[in-house]
């Protein structure tokens, strides 16, 4: 059985610490994703579309499916932006089906 950090800590009576750890973990994910997006943006501007595609894909993978996207959007991260930027790269690379 897989339990979140919060569930384990609650059982130990350490809910506040668990919440702080989860928030830090989430912020780290968003920060990493935003750095990858910035890298993708730089590569896109240089015309290095394959590298930009990889950076945006890593940002998407970094955040993954487990994240609350309303929270992510308020923190500056946005799956829609990462996916749109990646689609723009695919268009530049003439990979229409992927876009």
The per-residue pLDDT for range 20-73, each reduced to its tens digit, is: 656 666 678 888 889 999 999 999 999 999 999 999 999 999 887 656 555 555
Digit-coded pLDDT (tens) for 16-29: 765 665 666 667 88
Residue with tokens 């290095």: 48
User: Is the whole model's pTM more than 0.85, yes or no?
Assistant: no
Q: 3-class secondary structure for the chain?
A: CCCCHHHHHHHHCCHHHHHHHHHHHHHHHHHHHHHHHHHHHHHHHCCCHHHHHHHHHHHHHHHCCCCCHHHHHHCCCCHHHHHHHHHHHHHHCCCCCCC
Rounded-to-integer distance, Cα 38 and Cα 51, Å:
12
CA 94 – CA 99 distance, rounded (Å): 9
């Amino acid at each position: 059985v897989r339990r979140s950090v919060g569930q384990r800590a609650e059982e130990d009576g350490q809910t506040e610490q668990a919440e702080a750890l989860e928030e830090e973990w989430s912020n780290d994910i968003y920060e990493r994703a935003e750095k990858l997006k910035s890298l993708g943006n730089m590569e896109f501007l240089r015309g290095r579309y394959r590298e930009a595609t990889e950076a945006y894909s890593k940002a998407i993978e970094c955040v993954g499916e487990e994240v609350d996207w309303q929270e992510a959007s308020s923190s500056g991260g946005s799956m829609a932006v990462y996916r749109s930027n990646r689609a723009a790269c695919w268009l530049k690379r003439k990979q229409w089906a992927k876009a």
